[in-house]
Amino acid sequence: MFEFSATYTDHYELTMGQAYFLAGQKDVLAVFDYFFRKNPFEGGYAIFAGLLDLLAVLEAFRFDKEDLRFLKEQSFDPDYLTYLENFRFKGTVYSPPEGDLVFPTRPVLRVEGNLIETQLIETVLLNILNFQSLIATKASRMRLVAKDHMLIDFGLRRAQGPGGYYASRAAVIGGFDATSNARAARDYNLQPSGTMAHSYIESYESEIDAFRSFAAARPNDCVLLVDTYNTLYSGVPNAIIVAKEMERKGQRLKGIRLDSGDLSYLAQKCRAMLDEAGLSYVRIAASNQLDEYVIRSLMDQGAPIDAFGVGTSVVTGQPDAALDGVYKLAKAGGHPVIKLSENISKITLPDKKQVWRAIDNEGLFLGADVVGLEDETGPVEMHHPFFPHQSCVIKTKETEPLLHPVMVRGKIVYDPPSLPQTAQYARERLKMLPAAYKRFENPHIYKVGISSMLKTLRDRLIDQHKKYPTQLY
Amino acid sequence: MFEFSATYTDHYELTMGQAYFLAGQKDVLAVFDYFFRKNPFEGGYAIFAGLLDLLAVLEAFRFDKEDLRFLKEQSFDPDYLTYLENFRFKGTVYSPPEGDLVFPTRPVLRVEGNLIETQLIETVLLNILNFQSLIATKASRMRLVAKDHMLIDFGLRRAQGPGGYYASRAAVIGGFDATSNARAARDYNLQPSGTMAHSYIESYESEIDAFRSFAAARPNDCVLLVDTYNTLYSGVPNAIIVAKEMERKGQRLKGIRLDSGDLSYLAQKCRAMLDEAGLSYVRIAASNQLDEYVIRSLMDQGAPIDAFGVGTSVVTGQPDAALDGVYKLAKAGGHPVIKLSENISKITLPDKKQVWRAIDNEGLFLGADVVGLEDETGPVEMHHPFFPHQSCVIKTKETEPLLHPVMVRGKIVYDPPSLPQTAQYARERLKMLPAAYKRFENPHIYKVGISSMLKTLRDRLIDQHKKYPTQLY
């Protein structure tokens, strides 16, 4: 829906592309890894999301007329502009399925192609994957605590502009049931959902007039907002009157919604009032600044809330604004490369790599992903990149490779699952992760190690750069 | 650029619209206020941004074929669908200029029209104004501390999807000079900016080869990234060699960029090395997790950094994810309306209103905006909505009305300023705000009061609802 022309990128990708082009480097092959360094929300995992949107953007990646006009104005080289005019992304992408669990420091996805094409797509790749993975992860945390209660995304009005469109999709991957976002529902085939606003009530002379008019217009899907004037003395009594009127017409009031006050207390009072009126089928929805912690608290209190409407926190990932995903060169022109850093956790992993996940005898994740070279058959031991005493033998023979080709030479090469299938896959993978990794507070740390062969290569490359002394301050 | 069809809205706007339509309420006139309740970033003000994008969306507001197909599938009423097929927004909008300073609880913008059209645009209005105002405000905080040093937005890769497109625009309104976001630069005529990535260096056999190739491709705008292997022992010495080679060709190296480590220490060391080599014209740019607090610290330390590249914090507003703007009904069918709440700060202001800003004898903001009824000539006193002892007399005769018609019956009725003009306006308005309101820590609170006439009306409406007892828990 967002029209991603090829200038949807950082300007430096374009200037680096020109430098490669003019230096005759454009056909040099490159391998890039996408990975992140820190789980969001101080949690123990992240859910990988955004892949299908990314692949669609890569297939359609074009410089349009406006792009070329703009670049010409910016004094780009005419031959390079001609090259860009005909540019198509012909690279190859290896990835896990959308919805898989991913962990810090290991490659999440790998891109191969020439230096220019792999560089030009960097920004849009990071923009799409960082954001959708952040939101799918946030949504999954709410799903964990909401159990099988309904979760609805109400966030579009507080979303970061059109980010809200993709947030609604990612929230479903993470376990949400429905969205208020009609456009996302339309395009991604999501379940649209919504009730009514306070303004609707206020536009009528009285609350009960507003309820009656709304019930007449929407008899099969009528949820009444009960807190405009006074929840327990006005909203709920009026909703009960209208529900009884609906019953006489053979209709059923679907629910009421609470949007302020002490949601736990009010839900209990409302439930009792509805039950006493013989309306035990009328459901209770609640909204107002919900996040995974508030939902957990409401669930712990046994609040009789059937559906949670979540806004800002699920569409923005608040308090985390971004997954810190990066895109780093691992190989160029046939040579494995490395980026050094004073911060050892920022030293990159060289060469073309595969990632294996260890599975235990019960079919659960053993708690370790091992990064090795692509042509290894599967690791039998894993090393901490820097601390030999933290290395260990992998005690299971069952390891699954995680990176599979999804795009080859610019074409999608697999049959993409539907969004419900992706959400189902995320749910299954999350079930395979032991509970200790899913705790909100101090989760167990999922281990990521490297194979012996990768360790040897990495040590050699670090040695090559040893000529530089450490900068002592 | 984002294709905002009319389903870019919350589903309940559509269902409420249908209820109004079926109840014969579609031509009832309504007045809505857009306002927010809390300054972002615990600051003392917000910058109003997003108006021009909003007005463009309202002028083009249409249900397209896909929208209508989707709504038909959702079992909307056929007559209502016919109405939507021909729907155009014909409402009227009153607003301050983009870039003005705005404060909590007072109307920022007012919309008038029929109940359906004013309701249908709620979500997109909030989506655009909340986000751009958040970002313009965040950017302005960095501008306050960066003084006249260059500020560049590098955030697209960490932005919340295409939110980054609008963030780059809003950052310029708040005082940023340039952006890495080529697409936003193209469409909004911003200054594009960018240097090079670590991958560029790594793709060459050696750092100096990479520097030479980049300088050859971009002699007039060459900024070299110096921290790939070792800033002080490799990056800067190599940059100096290349700068000297450029001098021999009559060229000048524009700058170097630091992206890791102790930026203050490194900038001082780099500055000294460059100066010693006779390269005092070579500028130093720095990036890496900057925000207004880090920039302030670097400035306080006298770090010789000429340009700050800011990512996540300026495109997402981290740590705040959203401005809490709302859109509330103030009048319907000729009657002023009110929304009650147990939380008195959430009780709305009824009727069609104007806002006046008091200006002191030096031409600065006196620190008070007064909300009154639209047909008042200008207030002479202001009341706290609930606490009479906090009421006061306005001691200046100079008050400016802040809400002006910008769209009348669906058409933009003023000559919109250019983006540089809007940025300039924001700068001027910020200068008129005394320093105490611009502090990061415990800023002085800008007062918002209501006129005597508005207070009388409001008290009367609250009295009408007194029949409901307070809910005692």
Q: How confident is the model at residue B380 (pLDDT cuts 50, 70, 90)?
A: confident
- Could you tell me if B198 and A25 are in contact, meaning their C-beta atoms sit under 8 angstroms apart? no
The closest CB to that of B471, out of A218, A232, A339, belongs to A232
pTM > 0.95:
yes
How far apart are the C-alpha atoms of A307 and A304, rounded to whole Å? 9
Is A127 found in the same domain as A175?
Answer: no
The closest CB to that of A218, out of B7, B15, B132, belongs to B15
Is A70–B185 a contact, with Cβ atoms under 8 angstroms apart? yes
* Residue A472 confidence (pLDDT): 55
pLDDT at A467 over 80: no
Is A140 found in the same domain as A127?
Answer: no
- Could you tell me if A98 and A51 are in contact, meaning their C-beta atoms sit under 8 angstroms apart? yes
From A285, A316, A347, the end of a domain falls on A316
From A272, A287, A316, the end of a domain falls on A316
- Omega before B388 within 30 of 0, i.e. cis: no
Write the ipTM.
0.96
What value does the mean pLDDT take over residues A84-111? 97
- Does residue A229 lie in a domain region? yes
Query: How crowded is the C-beta side of B320, counted as CA atoms within 13 Å?
Result: 22
- Does residue B371 lie in a domain region? no
Distances (CA, A) of A263 to A254, A273, B37, B428: 19, 15, 21, 45
Is B19–A203 a contact, with Cβ atoms under 8 angstroms apart? no
- The domain tally of chain A equals 2
- Does residue B45 lie in a domain region? no
- pLDDT per position as a tens digit, B416-438: 999 999 999 999 999 999 999 99
Q: How confident is the model at residue A195 (pLDDT cuts 50, 70, 90)?
A: confident
**B339 to chain A: nearest residue by CA?**
A228
From A267, A286, A316, the end of a domain falls on A316
* Residue A113 confidence (pLDDT): 98
- Does residue A223 lie in a domain region? yes
Among A49-63, A310-324, B374-388, which stretch is predicted with the lowest mean pLDDT? B374-388
* Residue B398 confidence (pLDDT): 83
**Substitution target from A160, A266, A273 for chain B, most B beta carbons within 10 A:** A160
Is A166 found in the same domain as A83?
Answer: no
Is A373 found in the same domain as A306?
Answer: no
- pLDDT per position as a tens digit, B285-336: 999 999 999 999 999 999 999 999 999 999 999 999 999 999 999 999 999 9
Is A104 found in the same domain as A236?
Answer: no
Is A203 found in the same domain as A312?
Answer: yes
- Does residue B329 lie in a domain region? no
pLDDT at A378 over 90: no
- Strands in A399-401's sheet, in edge-to-edge order, are A399-401, A353-359, A365-373, A447-450
How far apart are the C-alpha atoms of A307 and A315, rounded to whole Å? 17
Instruction: Write out the DSSP string of A343-357.
Output: SGGGPPPPSSEEEEE
Is A303 found in the same domain as A256?
Answer: yes
CB pairs under 8 A between A and B: 359
- pLDDT per position as a tens digit, A138-174: 999 999 999 999 999 999 999 999 999 999 999 999 9
- pLDDT per position as a tens digit, B27-77: 999 999 999 999 999 999 999 999 999 999 999 999 999 999 999 999 999
- How high is the mean pLDDT of chain B? 94
Contacts of A328 in chain B (CB under 8 A): 198-199
* Residue A341 confidence (pLDDT): 77
Contacts 24+ apart (CB under 8 A), B363-368: B363/B432, B364/B432, B364/B433, B364/B434, B365/B101, B365/B432, B365/B433, B365/B434, B365/B437, B365/B446, B366/B394, B366/B395, B366/B396, B367/B434, B367/B437, B367/B444, B367/B446, B367/B447, B368/B394, B368/B446, B368/B447, B368/B448, B368/B449
Contacts of B158 in chain A (CB under 8 A): 126-127, 130, 321-322, 324
How far apart are the C-alpha atoms of B223 and B207, rounded to whole Å? 14
CATH number of residue A349's parent domain = 3.20.140.10
Domain boundaries, position A279: 136-316
pLDDT at B265 over 60: yes
- Does residue B57 lie in a domain region? no
Is A294 found in the same domain as A151?
Answer: yes
Q: How confident is the model at residue B14 (pLDDT cuts 50, 70, 90)?
A: very high
CATH number of residue B159's parent domain = 3.20.20.70
Most confident of A192-201, A224-233, B131-140, B451-460: B131-140
Other beta carbons less than 10 A from residue B209's beta carbon = 14
pLDDT at A469 over 70: no
Question: In angstroms, what separates the C-alpha of B451 from chain A's closest C-alpha?
Answer: 23
Q: How confident is the model at residue A471 (pLDDT cuts 50, 70, 90)?
A: low
- pLDDT per position as a tens digit, A386-415: 777 777 777 777 889 999 999 999 999 999
- Does residue A401 lie in a domain region? yes
Question: In angstroms, what separates the C-alpha of A411 from chain B's closest C-alpha?
Answer: 23
The one-letter code for the residue type at B344 is: I
- pLDDT per position as a tens digit, B437-450: 999 999 999 999 99
Is A344 found in the same domain as A269?
Answer: no
- pLDDT per position as a tens digit, B270-287: 999 999 999 999 999 999
What value does the mean pLDDT take over residues B255-276? 97
What value does the mean pLDDT take over residues A323-329? 97
- Does residue A1 lie in a domain region? no
**B313 to chain A: nearest residue by CA?**
A321
Is B15–A194 a contact, with Cβ atoms under 8 angstroms apart? yes
Is A161–B127 a contact, with Cβ atoms under 8 angstroms apart? yes
Among A2-11, A417-426, B86-95, which stretch is predicted with the lowest mean pLDDT? A2-11
